[in-house]
């Protein structure tokens, strides 16, 4: 794939998977403006340039970021409280990724096996879903559920466990960040990357199987014998 000459124009293809696991921030919800404000406040309070924090924080757990800049705050009580406040304080600064609402509704109504695997906390995810009125996933892996965050694959392996298809590698992951793509690939799964927060080159380098602009390129065609049929259109080629 050469980023200089390609376009988002690949013909539609339907692929069948045992289940689907999706990242959250940058993949289903775009809360970039809210998160930028959050880290600016945190950086200013600490006397650390917020730009330095923001350069490495996306797709990583807050507890890991805090561990670098202020280890005294790197505990789950503090992280849950702070992240739970973000949707309340900056709720108007988040929107769904185009196509997100339709995809979640289709996954839910079709009976597909699906879940969310995020570097955020439960209060953060539930807060954004409430603010935006989006379906709550029955299966949810958050930052607290694993000893190491992305790019470590354990979050996605735990996601597979929640779907009750422990031995399957026929799983597709939706991601926007290189750390998440690396985690999905390390788990042995296929990865569809969204070009919502990172450059094409970064997504290619991380090893995404397909790259699309947003969730309008992903749709559920049906569920047959427990397997979900996912159509991918206008992928990068």
Active-site annotation, residues: 23, 25
CA distance 146 to 43: 26
Q: What is the CA radius of gyration of the chain?
A: 17
Of the candidates 126, 118, 188, 121, the one whose C-alpha atom is nearest the C-alpha of residue 150 is: 118
Alpha helices (runs of H) in the chain, residue ranges in sequence order? 32-46, 50-57, 62-69, 76-90, 100-110, 122-132, 154-162, 178-186, 200-206
Q: Tally the residues of the chain.
A: 237
DSSP 108-165: HHHT--EEEE-SS-HHHHHHHHHHHTPPPPSSEE-GGGSSS-TTSTHHHHHHHHHTT-
CA distance 13 to 235: 9
The structure tokens listed for 217 are 């390129």
């Amino acid at each position: 794939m050469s980023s200089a000459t390609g376009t988002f124009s690949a013909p539609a293809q339907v692929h069948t998977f045992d289940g689907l696991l999706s990242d959250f921030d940058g993949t289903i919800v775009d809360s970039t403006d809210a998160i930028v404000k959050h880290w600016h406040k945190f950086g200013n309070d600490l006397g650390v340039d917020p730009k330095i924090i923001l350069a490495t924080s996306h797709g990583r757990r807050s507890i890991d970021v805090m561990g670098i800049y202020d280890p005294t705050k790197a505990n789950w009580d503090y992280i849950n409280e702070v992240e739970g406040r973000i949707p309340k304080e900056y709720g108007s600064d988040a929107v769904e990724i185009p196509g997100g609402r339709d995809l979640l509704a289709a996954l839910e109504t079709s009976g597909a096996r699906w879940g969310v695997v995020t570097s955020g906390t439960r209060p953060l995810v539930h807060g954004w879903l409430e603010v935006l009125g989006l379906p709550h996933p029955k299966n949810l892996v958050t930052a607290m559920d694993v000893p190491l965050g992305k790019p470590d694959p354990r979050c996605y392996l735990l996601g597979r466990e929640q779907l009750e298809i422990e031995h399957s590698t026929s799983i597709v992951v939706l991601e926007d960040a290189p750390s998440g793509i690396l985690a999905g690939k390390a788990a042995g799964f296929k990865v569809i990357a969204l070009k919502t927060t990172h450059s094409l080159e970064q997504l290619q380098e991380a090893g995404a199987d397909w790259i699309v602009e947003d969730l309008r390129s992903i749709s559920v065609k049906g569920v047959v014998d427990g397997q979900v049929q996912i159509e991918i259109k206008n992928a990068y080629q």
